[in-house]
Amino acid sequence: MVLWFGILILGPCAIVTLMSGNEIRLVHSDVPDDNTLRVWLIQQAHERGLGISTGYSVKPAADTVCTITDTRFVLWLGEGTSSHSCACYTPQVNGRYTPLSDGPDACTMAGG
């Protein structure tokens, strides 16, 4: 029953959302780039398809939070390369985050 609900109701809703806004984003915290799931429509001259990004955050130290993101592409025109990226931040008192590190150094710090 739940499976049919997902297929018959949520499936078309997701397609309409992608076509009208080009992106579906589920965020699970206020940390920058901390997207649990992001799906977006790619409509370039030589590339067409979907980008799918999944991520999570880790806290390697009391004053540091890092996001780890994996991105994959499902293209019916062109070619896309999967990627793995990391970024680390220091939380501020006002609820904002200051960038600390990104790239391979951040992945090492995050353990990802």
Sorted by where each begins, the domain ranges of the chain are 23-110
6 pLDDT band (50/70/90 cuts)? low
pTM score: 0.75
Q: How far apart are CA 9 and CA 90, in angstroms?
A: 41
pLDDT: which is higher, 11 or 61:
61
Q: How far apart are CA 66 and CA 103, in angstroms?
A: 11
Check pLDDT > 70 for residue 73: yes
- State how far the alpha carbon of 37 is from the alpha carbons of 23, 43, 76, in Å: 10, 20, 21
pLDDT digits 0-9 by tens, 25-53: 877 788 887 778 889 888 888 998 999 99
